[in-house]
Structure 1
Amino acid sequence: MPPSSSRLPRPPETVEHCPVDTALAVIRGRWKGTILWLLSERPMRTSELRRRIPRISERMLIRHLQELVGDGVLDRHDAGTVPPHVTYSVSEYGRTLEPVVRALCSWGGDHLDRHTPAR
């Protein structure tokens, strides 16, 4: 059995606000994990994110970026120029999600390996 420090906290008898659901609500969305993963490398402009995620629609990309900024996970930097030059980066608060994103990435890779037929 793992040491007690690595165990999950014991859930209360009744759950009104589940911390797991709260965390997942912030990163829930078809492309939010991908956006966070890409921006963990370095800040990027909207157009670069769009190129790096070819299957995402412009509307969905903007929506996810706005939600992540609203939750304080991303910072939006507007150069105030015409044409607009907007760059997104992971905020200081968003950096606290990096271990979670790393763990999800690792688990996802293992899951892909497990479920991808050998070639």
Structure 2
Amino acid sequence: MSKNCCRAETGDASLSARSPLGPTPSCPEQHCPVEATLGLVGGKYKALILWKLMSGTLRFSELRRAVPGATPKMLTQQLRELENDGLVHREVFPVIPPHVEYSLTPFGQTIRPVLESMYAWGTGYLEHRGLKACCSMEPLP
């Protein structure tokens, strides 16, 4: 493992996944960039939520329609996690009934090439298996 992968000095408990090989003298805590990325986008609907928000700001009701498999509770949970991780911005407008909009933060916008690469790779994988991509993640303009 490269010394560049070690960031034990950050003290960020959310990224403290251990390597199967355990800590090394040069890196007492293992922080894998791939595991960190998967931790951010690997939730049940996180990648789809991020994908939909790459097209622009959406209200909660629009996200519910865009992510039909998620219950309101699950969608709220996934959005809160994305917000806590700094990928999604939540803006509440003080009106009756409450109006809430979600958008990607500048940091959240940096995930776009990662998700686009995953989409392209997954499409190729499905084609290799004789399957056609069929999901609510449409290619982005």
Task: Give the TM bin, normalised by the shorter chain.
Answer: 0.7 to 0.9
- Structure 1: state its 5+ residue gaps: 1-10
Match of 1:85 in 2: 99
**Mapped partners of 2:93, 2:71: distance in 1:** 24
TM-score (norm 1): 0.82
Q: Which amino acid aligns with 2:2?
A: P
Residue 112 (structure 2) aligned to one of 87, 98, 105: 98
Aligned to 1:12: 2
Change (3 A) 1:117 1:98: closer
- Give the aligned CA root-mean-square deviation in angstroms: 1.7
In the alignment, the residues of structure 1 paired with residue 98 and residue 31 of structure 2 have an alpha-carbon distance, to the nearest angstrom, of 40
How far apart in 1 are the matches of 2:130 and 2:62? 29
Match of 1:64 among 71, 78, 83: 78
- What residue in structure 2 maps to residue 8 of structure 1? none
Partner of 1:39: 53
Per-residue CA deviation, residues 45-67 of structure 1 (Å, 9 max, x unaligned), is 11111111211111110000000
Does the residue aligned with 2:89 lie in a helix, a strand or coil? strand
So what's the TM-score if we normalise by structure 2? Answer: 0.70
| 1:117 CA drift (Å) | 4.3
Match status 1:22 vs 2:36: yes
Cα distance in 2 for residues equivalent to 1:32 and 1:42: 16
Aligned-partner residue type, residue 86 of structure 1: V
Relative to total residues, which structure has the larger helix share, 1 or 2?
Answer: 1
Aligned AA (1:30):
K
How many positions carry a matched residue from both structures? 108
Q: Sequence identity, in percent?
A: 37
Pair 1:82–1:29, CA change in 2 (3 A): same
| Amino acid paired to 1:12 | S
Which structure has more relative contact order (CA 8 Å, sep 6+)? It is 1
Gaps of 5+ in 2: 4-23, 133-141
